[in-house]
Amino acid sequence: MCYSPVMDPMKGRICLITGATSGIGKAAAIELARRGATLVLSCRDSQKGESTIREIREKTGVSADLLSADLSSLESVRQLARMFQAKYPALHVLINNAGLLVRKRTLSADGLEMTFAVNHLAYFLLSHLLLDMLKASGPARIVNVSSDAHFRAALDFDDLQSEKKYSPFGVYCKSKLCNVLFTYELAKRLQGTSVTANTLHPGFVATGFFRDTPGFVKTYARFFALSPEKGAKTTVFLASSGEVNNVSGKYFKRCAEARSSALSYETFLAQRLWQVSKHLAGLS
């Protein structure tokens, strides 16, 4: 069992969750609220955000806060970090959960391929911008939601923006490999601090994520996918469990450490992705 219904293990802990208005993110937010966490949800659609806040309050009796942000925009990610820092004294758990799969190649406001911008670069930039706050709030945790889809990916640094070849699922898989590589490199750089960084596969989960996928994928998801509540269990485990107090730089499935793809352990890949991401995010 991933977690037990222990009362208030997160009381006094401030958690920021991206992509928390649906699916895994919302299910994780509800469970963390039940555990006493102070929740801050980042979302692009304020109407959906307010609806989520009401649902959390109805189900848990806990009021959550809402910060609007478009994670495809680097400036909006910076604004999110500034808003959080201005409003809250500490950050104990950052859950980078927001993700998308785009059927047709689309560019962000910064001219970046949209899936890469939201699924990887937003994780990278937001984590960097809030890192000093996390360190000052330690013990603190960064939880990056990836996927076993990363096993099907490789990185071509000559076509990181998928200009030469675009496949919706292929680009998604690549972004999930970026999540794992980023987490491993981040964990190395956090050694000696009170901040941990881990990543996870939530399972094949039935969410609105499949809106833009082919019909057969939607049919498969309807019959075989996990519920968002089950899919959120490993996220909640990494955010709250005492079992992982000193665990960092690991990949988790079903609340247990697991092996990620062979490529994800290539240090040179992680380091090169770090430098490229730093440049694209405008971090000096």
Confidence of residue 11 (pLDDT cuts 50, 70, 90): very high
pLDDT at 81 over 70: yes
Which residue ranges make up each domain of the chain?
A: 14-280
Residue-wise DSSP of the chain:
------SSTTTT-EEEEES-SSHHHHHHHHHHHHTT-EEEEEES-HHHHHHHHHHHHHHHS---EEEE--TT-HHHHHHHHHHHHHH-S---EEEE------SS--B-TTSSBHHHIIIIIHHHHHHHHHHHHHHHH-SEEEEEE--GGGGG----TTSTT-SS---HHHHHHHHHHHHHHHHHHHHHHTTTSSEEEEEEE--SB-SGGGGGS-HHHHHHHHHHPBPHHHHTHHHHHHHH-GGGTT--S-EEETTEEE---GGGG-HHHHHHHHHHHHHHTT--
Confidence of residue 210 (pLDDT cuts 50, 70, 90): low
Q: Is pTM beyond 0.85 here?
A: yes
pLDDT in tens, 134-147: 999 999 999 999 99
What is the third-level CATH fold of 14-280?
Answer: Rossmann fold (3.40.50)
Confidence of residue 277 (pLDDT cuts 50, 70, 90): very high
Which sequence positions are flagged as catalytic? 172
pLDDT at 211 over 70: no
pLDDT in tens, 228-261: 778 899 999 999 999 999 999 999 999 999 999 9
